Chain A
């Protein structure tokens, strides 16, 4: 089956948050008491029990008109996923069929490597269970030919799920229709994301949206260079020691005890 993506079009989103609720419901995530911070954005960020939120933002244009911007914030399902590279136990791993980043909770050891590695600050750690949580693109649904719960709940068509090429064409068409600063976000970063946006405004306008997300260089250095080097260096030492032993020989005390016994006799 073909690679699929989820497309979010903020120009069609009314921020009803049906998706946010559907996500909680499908994943059986309990609600916690939250505080009113003077915005509809609630909770303020992703949480261990909240895999997605709709972000709310007021922006002023050149004429002084205030506009409301919405953005669905959730795991972007990177093709080059830093979290997958950093995860020691493959608790985070690619779904081969859809290329999304799935999660095997029972393998998670709560090391928080993924928390440190993700360029979108998506995985969230929970102290009680000592595990990390994030959107898994409703893996249990999509492998059974159902669409993700958030897409299912969306009443306006702002969320769509489909084959990547079909979605990309739809996104390009929509960008043309919208004109102005409209653009596609996600196709050119981290190898292509599997949650893609059609944005009305330039990406820089959206609060908390990484302008240049990439797998951190630290992770590349760690995994692509130092990791293999650790075995190579140790192997070199072991090989070198063996060669030393058979070529030069060990450093043995002088058997005849020349000088040593004479002195030791006193």
Chain B
């Protein structure tokens, strides 16, 4: 690790992120294997059509647990919009689509990330809820059948958002991915993407910089 790198995430955050992400990808793959007959081969690759169901159902349980942890962990930082700066950020589309001179300063999460977090939280919960009902079928036929289009709707949203997230977490925003691998990002990246967070944590002394002592508040070691 180079001196001066900034700590953006702790190990627990990264473990939860990846258990949510990998279980989600597994659910996409097995779900596609069941939604499209032409993708049935995915089941055969996994050792039989039946594995589609088992991997999907039990992967869903891992996803459910990860989702609960993720929501509890990120809710207070990513679950609330800050007005008016978040509104201005959205009006400027985050500076992603056209040139914006005075971007409102972004904190730990920008409104796009917050929207993504909320979409995952809400539709993730829809997926878990409808999935469990389809698995155990405790409902009357008229209600039960409604769970299928809801589950499919959740897939439409999450599958599309997944690619947005993938792009903006990698090539679309260089320097972001390390936040979820090593947890350390460059100061230049933090300055560009989350200037308000950088300034505030620096002022309060809670910012961890590699090779430097924390200024105050030695609560963690």
Is B134 a contact partner of A253 (Cβ separation < 8 A)? Answer: no
Q: Is A1 an interface residue (CB 8 A)?
A: no
Segment of A33-41, A84-92, A154-162 in the binding face: A84-92
A234 in the interface, Cβ–Cβ < 8 Å? yes
Q: B4, B53, B98 — which one has the most chain A CB atoms within 10 A of its CB? A: B53
Q: Which A residues are CB-close (under 8 A) to B187? A: 257, 260-261, 263-264
Interface string of A36-79 (1 = CB under 8 A from B): 00000000000000000000000000000000000000000000
Minimum CB–CB distance for A261 against chain B, Å? 7
Asked whether any CB of chain A lies closer than 8 Å to the CB of B182, the reply is no
Complex interface: stretch among B82-90, B114-122, B148-156: B148-156
Q: Is the CB of B191 within 8 A of A241?
A: no
B residues contacting the other copy or chain, number (CB 8 A): 49
| Cβ–Cβ contact A241 & B156, under 8 A | no
Q: Which of A164-172, A200-208, A243-251 has 4 or more CB atoms under 8 Å from chain B?
A: A243-251
Contacts known (A253-B186, A254-B188, A261-B187); A89 close to B43, Cβ less than 8 A: yes
- Asked if B73 lies at the interface with its beta carbon under 8 angstroms from chain A, I say no
Partner of B50, one of A109, A234, A244, A251: A109
| Complex contacts, B34 vs chain A, CB 8 Å | 88-89, 111
**Shortest beta-carbon distance from A167 to chain B in Å:** 30
- Given the known inter-chain contacts A116-B137, A241-B167, please indicate yes or no for A253 contacting B174, CB distance below 8 A: yes
Q: Which of B14-22, B61-69, B157-165 contacts A (4 or more CB under 8 A)?
A: B157-165
Q: Is B11 close to A, CB under 8 A?
A: no
Interface residues of B in 164-212 (CB under 8 A from A): 164, 167, 171-175, 186-189, 191-193, 209
Give the contact-size bracket for chain A.
Answer: 35 or more
Which of chain B's residues 98-149 have a Cβ closer than 8 Å to chain A? 98, 134, 137, 141, 144-149
Give the distance in Å from the alpha carbon of A134 to the alpha carbon of B47 in the complex.
26
Q: When chains A and B are docked, how far (Å) is the Cα of A136 from the Cα of B72? A: 50
When distances are taken between beta carbons in the complex, the residues of chain A under 8 Å from B171 are 245, 250
- A176: chain B residues at CB < 8 Å are none
Residue A237 at the chain B interface, CB threshold 8 Å: yes
A180 within 8 A of B: no
Residues of A within 8 A of B4 (CB): 264
- B152 engages A222 (CB within 8 Å): yes
Say if the beta carbon of A110 comes within 8 Å of chain B: yes
* Chain A residue nearest in CB terms to B133: A116
| A264 cross-chain contacts in B, Cβ below 8 A | 4, 187, 209
| Residue in B closest to A121 when the chains form the complex, CB atoms | B141
- Contact indicator per residue, chain A 91-124, by CB within 8 Å of chain B (1) or not (0): 0000000000000000101111101110001000
B40 is an interface residue with CB less than 8 A from chain A: yes
Interface set, chain A 179-195, CB cutoff 8 A to B: none
- Closest Cβ of chain A to B39, distance in Å, is 10
Residue A31, interface by CB 8 Å? no
- The residues of B that contact A222 with a CB separation of less than 8 Å are 148-149, 152
A229 and B145 within 8 A (CB): no
Find the A residue at minimum CB distance from B136. Answer: A112
User: Knowing A230-B152, A233-B156, A234-B160 touch, does A251 contact B191 (C-beta < 8 A)?
Assistant: no
- The verdict on B76 contacting chain A, using a C-beta distance below 8 Å, is no
B104 CB to nearest chain A CB (Å) = 15
Minimum CB–CB distance from A85 to chain B (whole Å) comes to 10
Chain B nearest CB: distance from A21 CB in Å? 29
Q: How far is the CB of B16 from chain A (nearest CB, A)?
A: 24
The answer to whether the Cβ of A221 comes within 8 Å of any Cβ in the partner chain is yes
Could you say which of B40, B145, B153, B175 contacts A226, with CB atoms under 8 Å apart?
B153
Which of chain A's residues 218-244 have a Cβ closer than 8 Å to chain B? 218-219, 221-222, 226-227, 229-230, 233-234, 236-238, 241, 244
The 10 residue pairs across chains A and B that have the minimum distance between CB atoms? A88-B34, A226-B152, A253-B188, A241-B167, A233-B160, A260-B191, A237-B163, A253-B192, A222-B149, A218-B145
15 further contact pairs, Cβ within 8 A, besides A116-B134, A218-B149, A252-B173? A88-B34, A109-B43, A219-B145, A219-B148, A221-B152, A230-B156, A233-B159, A236-B160, A244-B97, A244-B167, A248-B98, A250-B171, A253-B175, A254-B192, A255-B188
